Structure 1
Amino acid sequence: MRIDLVPEIRYRLMPREFLFPDLTHADQQRNADWLGPQLLHPDTLAVGMAFQAYLIRARGQNILVDTCNGNHKSRPSAQWQHDLRSHNFLTSLADLGLRPEDIHIVLCTHLHTDHVGWNTRLVNGEWVPTFPNARYVMNRAEFDHYKAWLDRVDDPKKVMHGSIADSVLPVVDHGQAEFVSDTAQILTEIGEEVFLSPSPGHSPGHVCIHARASGAEAVVSGDVIHHPVQLDMPDLVMRADADPDLAAQSRRKVMEHCAGTGALLCAGHIPFHSISRVQEGGQAFRLAPAG
Structure 2
Amino acid sequence: MTDDRVQSFLIGDVEVLRIVEWQGPYVPAADLLPDAGPDVWEAHEAQLVPDHREADGDRAVVALQTWVLRTGGRTVLVDTGVGNGRERPGNPLFHRRQGDFLGRLERAGVRPQDVDVVINTHLHADHVGWNTRDADGEWVPSFPRARYLLPAADDHHFGPAGDYAGGARPVDRLVYEDSVAPVHRAGQADLWQDTYRIDEHLVLEAAPGHTPGSCVLRVESGGERAVFVGDLLHSPVQILRPECSSCFCLDPKEAARTRQRVLERAAEERALVVPAHFGGAGAVQVRAARHGFSLHRWAV
Do they superpose with TM above 0.5?
yes
Q: How far did residue 229 of structure 1 move? A: 1.0
Q: Kindly indicate whether residue 68 of structure 2 is the aligned counterpart of residue 46 of structure 1.
A: no
Q: How far did residue 276 of structure 1 move? A: 1.7
Contact 2:17 2:69 in 1 (8 A): yes
Write the mapping of 1:79-228 to structure 2, written as runs, cut at 5 A.
Answer: 79-87=92-100, 89-147=101-159, 148-150=161-163, 158-160=170-172, 162-188=174-200, 193-228=201-236
Q: How far did residue 33 of structure 1 move? A: 3.0
Higher deviation after alignment, 33-42 or 264-273: 33-42
- CA change 1:157–1:232 in 2 (3 A) is closer
CA–CA distance in 1 between the matches of 2:19 and 2:58?
27
CA–CA distance in 1 between the matches of 2:148 and 2:168?
21
Q: How far did residue 93 of structure 1 move? A: 1.4
CA–CA distance in 1 between the matches of 2:47 and 2:169?
40
SS at 1:230 equivalent? helix
Aligned-residue sequence identity (percent) comes to 34
Higher deviation after alignment, 160-169 or 281-290: 281-290
Per-residue CA deviations over 1:230-270 (Å, capped at 9, x if unaligned) read 11111112111111110001111221121111111111100
Alignment gaps of 5+ in structure 1: none
- CA change 1:120–1:173 in 2 (3 A) is same
SS at 1:29 equivalent? helix
Contact 2:158 2:173 in 1 (8 A): no
- CA change 1:276–1:95 in 2 (3 A) is farther
SS at 2:36 equivalent? coil
Q: Which amino acid aligns with 1:31?
A: H
1:289 corresponding residue in structure 2:
298
Per-residue CA deviations over 1:128-176 (Å, capped at 9, x if unaligned) read 00001101011212211222233687x8971526111110000001111
SS at 1:40 equivalent? coil
1:252 corresponding residue in structure 2:
260
CA–CA distance in 2 between the matches of 1:151 and 1:39?
32
- CA change 1:206–1:152 in 2 (3 A) is closer
SS at 1:33 equivalent? helix
Higher deviation after alignment, 121-130 or 137-146: 137-146
Q: TM-score, normalised by structure 1?
A: 0.91
Higher deviation after alignment, 28-37 or 255-264: 28-37
Q: TM-score, normalised by structure 2?
A: 0.89
Write the mapping of 1:270-285 to structure 2, written as runs, cut at 5 A.
Answer: 270-285=278-293
CA–CA distance in 2 between the matches of 1:25 and 1:11?
20
Alignment gaps of 5+ in structure 2: 1-13
Q: Kindly indicate whether residue 245 of structure 2 is the aligned counterpart of residue 237 of structure 1.
A: yes
Write the mapping of 1:73-84 to structure 2, written as runs, cut at 5 A.
Answer: 73-84=86-97
Higher deviation after alignment, 264-273 or 20-29: 20-29
Contact 1:149 1:159 in 2 (8 A): no
- CA change 1:34–1:259 in 2 (3 A) is same
Aligned Cα root-mean-square deviation (Å): 2.0
Equivalences, count: 285
SS at 2:46 equivalent? coil
Runs in 1 of length 4+ with deviation above 4 angstroms?
41-44
